[in-house]
């Protein structure tokens, strides 16, 4: 009887400790969620020279996707999108570090190539083993009417002009994979109506019930059918809707980030 009573008491103590630990972990996850939500609010901007709409939908409580739009001055606006490998708190922390580092770099330097080099070093210094970050960014210069783009292992941005949609992919290795990387940017002219679509691989890797991926070809095809003039939030809803129709009946397994930027 004594041994049974002792065993029952020990069991109660263990259960209580496990429950307490689970409650602590749940609290930490909720706190991480709150911090990430604050870091990644829905972007909905409509100003004189540009319009932007962006949103992230996490597959789990804490994700690794991020995006941002930063006004440097009256003539220059930067934007970025990224994806940290993994879907856990560690990925969420690296996400916050890279997003903050990009904003900090832009205070002193608007050369995207050198910024990418600096971000690569930051990720190497901060990452856990095997972690990396795909990253893409753009910088509008309204004075010269140009855009500069950089890509570090991220899915290519899509450039939409009227009914012509094409992928733009400056080459570059994901941040954190190799030291002493050099990143080359791409520049070209911009005009009113030009639209830039940034997304994470959660969009193109969404699968249907047959296991097929939505893929970049379906995304480009859908965008080529956009003949009428739409604002950034409408284009977001259109793309997201096309992806959801394709993947209906399957479970989402990756974070989904989508941002639309339109030149006025």
User: pLDDT for 26-48, tens place per residue?
Assistant: 444 454 445 545 555 689 999 99
- Joined together, the tokens standing for residue 26 give 């749940």
Nearest in space to 258 (alpha carbons), one of 188, 196, 169: 196
Lowest-confidence segment of 87-101, 147-161, 190-204, 233-247 by average pLDDT:
87-101
Calpha distance 209→129 (Å, rounded): 34
Q: Where are the domains of the chain?
A: 1-39, 41-263
Three-class DSSP labels, 240-256:
HHHHHHHHCCCCCCCCE
**Over 90: is that where the pLDDT of 10 sits?**
no
Count of Cβ atoms closer than 10 Å to residue 238 Cβ: 16
What integer pLDDT is reported at residue 101 of this predicted model?
95
**Over 60: is that where the pLDDT of 198 sits?**
yes
Mean pLDDT of 80-107: 87
> Class for domain 41-263, per CATH?
alpha beta
Task: List C-alpha distances in Å: 206 to 62, 192, 245.
Answer: 19, 32, 11
Mean pLDDT of 62-67: 77
């Amino acid at each position: 009887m004594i041994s049974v009573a002792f065993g029952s008491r020990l069991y109660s103590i263990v259960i209580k400790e496990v429950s307490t630990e689970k409650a602590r972990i749940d609290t930490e996850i909720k706190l991480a969620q709150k911090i990430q939500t604050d870091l990644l609010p829905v972007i909905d901007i409509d100003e004189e020279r540009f319009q932007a709409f962006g949103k992230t939908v996490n597959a789990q409580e804490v994700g690794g996707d991020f995006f941002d739009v930063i006004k440097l001055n009256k003539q220059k606006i930067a934007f970025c999108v990224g994806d940290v490998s993994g879907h856990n708190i560690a990925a969420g922390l690296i996400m916050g570090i890279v997003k903050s580092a990009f904003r900090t770099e832009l205070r002193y330097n608007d050369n995207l190539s050198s910024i990418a080099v600096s971000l690569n070093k930051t990720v190497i210094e901060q990452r856990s083993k095997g972690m990396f970050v795909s990253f893409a960014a753009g910088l509008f210069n309204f004075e010269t009417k140009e855009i500069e783009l950089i890509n570090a292992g991220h899915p290519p941005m899509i450039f939409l002009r009227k009914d012509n949609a094409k992928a733009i992919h400056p080459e570059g290795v994901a941040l954190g994979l190799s030291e002493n990387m050099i990143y080359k940017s791409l520049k070209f002219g911009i005009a009113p109506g030009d639209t830039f679509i940034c997304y994470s691989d959660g969009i193109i890797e969404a699968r249907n019930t047959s296991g097929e991926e939505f893929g970049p070809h379906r995304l480009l095809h859908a965008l080529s059918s956009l003949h009428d003039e739409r604002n950034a939030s409408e284009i977001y809803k259109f793309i997201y809707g096309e992806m959801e129709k394709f993947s209906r009946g399957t479970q989402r397994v990756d974070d989904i980030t989508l941002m639309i930027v339109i030149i006025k």
